[in-house]
């Protein structure tokens, strides 16, 4: 896909996120919007996956470690054909499998997540298993920045570096906010890039809401051998919706009808030159 087509796809996924949260009256909207461009890049361009064969031993693996931001993920799984689009309407409803955090009942989901801090450890295990079996698949793990307060992440980082897991791509959604305020007030993280480099990762810091730059960052990292990689993605929580951007109130929130309509208007339709 072209960059323009991917940008339009991200717009379409954002619309899906808004509708899902509006209709279900539940969801983590700010963080779902901040990582939407990264998820789109991964599932439509970077990863080697086949929705018809979700258990293919050679597939690339994806772990949504910040499991609360599941809405974009579900919309992508439906768009790609892992699940039926009609099922999206059951999000967060009684007896659905599309609960508020990913679970492995859903094709395309590798790991139950939601309790923060565990995704990278499991992703390390998948990456190490790939090395032991001499397979070429890659493992991608998307973490939150508030999530960096979990000690298990740093234990996993040591492991990845120790075993030279160059098939592991961690992505850090650096939207600078967590559930109750700015990360630098709740649990200071900086200098974050230096920390990941000190743990032995090859780090690319990039505007995580700029599709072209995200793609180029993955491209550069793919050429690096012998060490694990991290994309430090500077993003905006609530990206794309003026009244949500950088506003901690929208970590978890539902929209009333006027807000929903305004949000859809602001997103607009796909641009010309690349229908999604």
Among 175, 203, 232, 233, binds Mg ion (CB under 5 A): 175
Among 160, 178, 231, 270, binds ligand TPP (CB under 6 A): 178
Structure tokens at 101: 């955090």
Of the candidates 241, 246, 270, 274, the one whose C-alpha atom is nearest the C-alpha of residue 21 is 241
117 binds, among Mg ion, ligand TPP, none (CB under 5 to 8 A by kind): ligand TPP
Examine residue 121 and tell whether it contacts ligand TPP (CB under 6 A).
no
Examine residue 157 and tell whether it contacts ligand TPP (CB under 6 A).
no
- Whether the Cβ atoms of residue 142 and residue 35 lie closer than 8 Å to each other: yes
Pick the closer one to ligand TPP by CB: 79 or 150: 150
Which residue in the block uniquely carries the two structure tokens 């772990």?
63
Determine the Cα–Cα distance for residues 19 and 199; give it in Å rounded to an integer: 40
Supply the minimum distance, in Å, between the C-beta of residue 172 and ligand TPP: 9
Per-position x/- string for 93-112, each x denoting binding to Mg ion as judged by CB under 5 A, each - no binding: --------------------
Determine the Cα–Cα distance for residues 50 and 69; give it in Å rounded to an integer: 23
Pick the closer one to ligand TPP by CB: 48 or 180: 180
- Whether the Cβ atoms of residue 129 and residue 108 lie closer than 8 Å to each other: no
Partner residues linked to 39 by β-bridges: none
**Rounded to 5 degrees, what are φ and ψ at 152?**
-60, -25
Our measurement of the distance from residue 208's CA atom to the centroid of its chain's CA atoms, rounded to an integer in Å, reads 11
Supply the minimum distance, in Å, between the C-beta of residue 144 and ligand TPP: 2
Examine residue 70 and tell whether it contacts ligand TPP (CB under 6 A).
no
Examine residue 119 and tell whether it contacts ligand TPP (CB under 6 A).
no
Supply the minimum distance, in Å, between the C-beta of residue 269 and ligand TPP: 27
Partner residues linked to 169 by β-bridges: 140, 229
Number of residues engaging Mg ion in binding (CB under 5 A): 6
Examine residue 144 and tell whether it contacts Mg ion (CB under 5 A).
yes
Q: Which residue is nearest to ligand TPP (CB)?
A: 144
Examine residue 146 and tell whether it contacts Mg ion (CB under 5 A).
yes
Supply the minimum distance, in Å, between the C-beta of residue 249 and ligand TPP: 13
Supply the minimum distance, in Å, between the C-beta of residue 273 and ligand TPP: 31
Examine residue 147 and tell whether it contacts ligand TPP (CB under 6 A).
yes
For the chain, the residue count is: 276
Residue 255 CB partners (closer than 8 Å, separation 6+): 18, 21, 22, 29, 263
Examine residue 144 and tell whether it contacts ligand TPP (CB under 6 A).
yes
Determine the Cα–Cα distance for residues 106 and 103; give it in Å rounded to an integer: 6
Count Cβ atoms within 10 A of the Cβ of residue 171 and give its class: 0-12 exposed, 13-18 middle, 19 or more buried: buried
Which spans of this chain sit near Mg ion (rule: CB under 5 A)? Answer: 144-146, 175, 177-178
Which spans of this chain sit near ligand TPP (rule: CB under 6 A)? Answer: 28, 30-31, 34, 66, 68-69, 114-117, 144-147, 173, 175, 177-179, 237, 251
């Amino acid at each position: 896909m072209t960059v323009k087509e991917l940008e339009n796809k991200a717009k379409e996924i954002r619309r899906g996120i808004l509708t899902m949260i509006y209709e279900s009256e539940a969801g983590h909207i700010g963080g779902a919007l901040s990582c939407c461009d990264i998820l789109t890049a991964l599932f439509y361009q970077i990863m080697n996956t086949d929705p018809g064969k979700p258990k293919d031993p050679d597939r690339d693996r994806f772990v949504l470690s910040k499991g609360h931001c599941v809405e974009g993920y579900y919309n992508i799984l439906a768009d790609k054909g892992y699940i039926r689009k009609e099922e999206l309407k059951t999000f967060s409803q009684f007896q659905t499998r599309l609960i508020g955090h990913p679970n492995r009942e859903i094709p395309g989901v590798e790991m139950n997540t939601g309790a923060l801090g565990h995704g990278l450890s499991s992703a390390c295990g998948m990456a190490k298993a790939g090395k032991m079996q001499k397979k070429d698949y890659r493992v991608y793990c998307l973490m939150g920045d508030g999530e960096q307060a979990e000690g298990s992440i740093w234990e996993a980082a040591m492991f990845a570096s120790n075993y030279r897991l160059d098939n592991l791509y961690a992505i850090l959604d650096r939207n600078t906010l967590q559930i109750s305020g700015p990360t630098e007030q709740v649990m200071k993280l900086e200098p974050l890039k230096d920390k990941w480099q000190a743990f032995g990762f090859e780090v690319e810091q990039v505007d995580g809401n700029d599709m072209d730059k995200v793609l180029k960052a993955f491209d550069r990292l793919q050429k690096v051998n012998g060490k694990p990689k991290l994309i430090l993605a500077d993003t905006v929580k609530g990206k794309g919706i003026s009244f949500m951007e950088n506003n901690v109130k929208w970590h978890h929130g539902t929209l009333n009808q006027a807000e929903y309509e305004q949000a859809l208007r602001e997103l607009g339709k796909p641009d010309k030159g690349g229908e999604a």
